[in-house]
Amino acid sequence: MKFPVKYKAILFSAVLLATSLTSCKKMLDEENLSGITDETLYTTPKGFETLVNAAYSYQRWWYGKERGFNMGETGTDLWTNGAGDVYPDLTTYQNLQATNGALQEAWANFYKAINVCNAGIARIGNSGMDQALQVQRTAEFRFLRAFYYYHIVEMWGGVHLTTEETVGVLTEAKKSSVDDFYNLIIEDLRFAADNLARTATDYGRATKPAAEAFLARVYLTRGMDAEASTLAKKVISDYGFGLLPNYADLWKMANIQNNEVVYAVNYSSNLNDNDKQDDNVYPDGDNRGSNSAHMLFLMKYDDQPGVIRSLEYGRPFNRYQPSRYLLYLFDENIDSRFEASFQNVWYCNQPNASSRPPGMNVGDTAVFISKYTIPTSVRATKNYTIYDDGDIYNADGSSKNRLRYISLKKFMDNTRGSINEAQSVRDAFVIRLAEMYLIVAEAEFKLGNNVEAATYLNAIRARAAKEGREQDMNISASDVSLDFILEERAREFAGEQLRWFDLKRTGKLKENLQKYNPHGYIYFRDYHLLRPIPQNQLDAVTNKSDFTQNAGYQ
């Protein structure tokens, strides 16, 4: 689905109403030369569609974005900070405060999105659309409102909840219970599931199976295990989705719209359609329209002998380093997901022979990183650079080299226009069918049905097995545990903005940090299960005694 790029006149009113929850300061100072206002624009079907598109567009701020990765993946057992990490306080919890810029922007953008959704739901009766389309668009707004509120309540707990459009400046905020949030989220998703179409010709729009899949995730989060299992099974069986036979095929740029994707945030192949920067609608700029994932997990490779920066190897932002624990979760001899997910060899691409190590030719191995120990005697026989486990990690799993490490390659994009292009047109997968299998497994395990849990785990593991190793990947009911399910989710979804939510849902965040991420555990406190409410929000409200900071934060 393409979103309009320039909203100078069209979305002036929508943005104004969307910003009023974020602070008391004026967000826009622009004359509306067209004379178009929300009172006239949103009374035509064409005009109203711009409001629908705006509600979708805020997903692009979270999925495929650095701030979303810092909040959804780091600060867990799977990642520590690379040398280039911009938000180490989120990655390690050290001195995490309400002034953190990523949290401030997440809060502001989620509430802008909520207000657009509330406005759309309230105004659709005057849109001029026929009744059937009004129901469809209302269901989309309610799906999106549930999406944004899920992220808000999981990160900040019982904060401000409203279903009313805010016009003008709001100076008071209230605190609602977590139960109130989830009652609304579930109600919205049930409405969406009942009223959305099974498919969408406009790729990226919410559908009935997307609503059911997201609701299954919510049910699992709320401990409604029977409901989660039933709904996830329905998504698996009723809509024609299927696991791709080859895990590696999921990540090919030519295959990003595939039969395993239940819901995705899409990016246009025309970079101008991706809202890279629009000072009126997105005053923060920052390549908002691009998918940044391709840069964030790459080690610094382009200063190594024999290797120069290339489209194939990507632009290394060096933000996130895999934990030793994550790497050792894979048995790469039988599980194809390690090779499909990670890069540990860089081949010589230096055209200048005088700049290459002696005897090295283009195409030869230039850098090799092993998660195992490489003896000195072996290193002495090689003309390429070697880093091994002992070069990168200390004995306790903590990092001692944040520049060189095995890199996550899932999100690479060799279709970019140049080696320094920051924008990627890769779609961001929000829900893959594989998640439904793992939701069933977790729910059935918690219901005491280990045999059924193993069956659904084995479906995922069979797809991941290397050719001829299917039996080696097969598990029995006695192998199933919550820890094993979380390990399987790590192998399947590493980097896909799910891990922090997974560990919080299962009550394993603190425990797994202690076991597997010394950098995070040192500073982690129980109150870090919620994020600090942004300071600029607390400063803006006038009822400061009622709307207070989350416990534990100053």
Tell me, what's the pLDDT at 267? 87
pLDDT for 32 equals 33
Give the Cα separation of 333 and 249 in Å (integer).
19
Please answer whether residues 397 and 517 qualify as being in contact, where contact means their C-beta atoms are separated by less than 8 angstroms.
yes
Q: Which residue has the tokens 């004379």?
A: 35
In the predicted structure, residue 550 carries a pLDDT above the cut 70: yes
The amino acid at 289: G
Residue 19 has pLDDT above 90, yes or no: no
| Strand ranges, E, within 230-312 | 261-265
Residue 98 has pLDDT above 50, yes or no: yes
Helix axis angle, 131-156 to 101-123, nearest 10°: 150
The predicted structure's pLDDT at residue 496: 98
* pTM for the predicted model, two decimal places: 0.92
pLDDT in tens, 401-443: 999 999 999 999 999 999 999 989 999 999 999 999 999 999 9
pLDDT above 70 (res 10): no
For residue 159, what are the contacts with CB-CB under 8 A and spacing of at least 6? Answer: 152, 153, 173, 175, 176, 533
12 pLDDT above the threshold of 60: no
Stretch 390-403: mean pLDDT: 97
Helix axes 12-19, 45-57, angle to 10 degrees: 40
Mean pLDDT of 488-494: 98
Looking at residue 7, its pLDDT comes to 27
For the segment 320-341, the average pLDDT, to the nearest whole number, is 98
Instruction: Return the structure tokens found at 63.
Output: 């999925």
Reading the block at residue 62, the tokens are 């979270």
Note the pLDDT tens digit of each residue in 162-171: 999 988 788 8
Least Cα distance to 261 among 423, 49, 433 occurs for 433
pLDDT at 271 over 70: no
Lowest mean pLDDT of 269-273, 291-295, 384-388, name the range.
269-273
Alpha carbon of 533 to those of 148, 297, 523, 539: distances in Å? Answer: 16, 28, 19, 11
pLDDT at 554: 84
Rg (CA), the chain: 24
- pLDDT tens digits along 192-230: 999 999 999 999 999 999 999 999 999 999 999 999 999
Q: How confident is the model at residue 277 (pLDDT cuts 50, 70, 90)?
A: low
Residue 169: predicted pLDDT: 81
User: Quick one: pLDDT at residue 289?
Assistant: 61
Helical axes 225-238 vs 433-446, angle rounded to 10°: 150
Does the pLDDT at position 278 exceed 50? no
pLDDT score of 359 more than 50: yes
- Cα within 13 Å of Cα(300), Cβ side: 11
Say whether pLDDT at 37 is over 90: no
How far are the Cα atoms of 89, 286, 498 from residue 412, in angstroms, in the given order? Answer: 26, 20, 19
Residue 280 above 60 pLDDT? no
Question: Given this model, what pLDDT does residue 290 score?
Answer: 79
Q: pLDDT exceeding 90 applies to what percent of the chain?
A: 86
- SS3 assignment, position 290: coil
| pLDDT of 284 higher than 60 | no
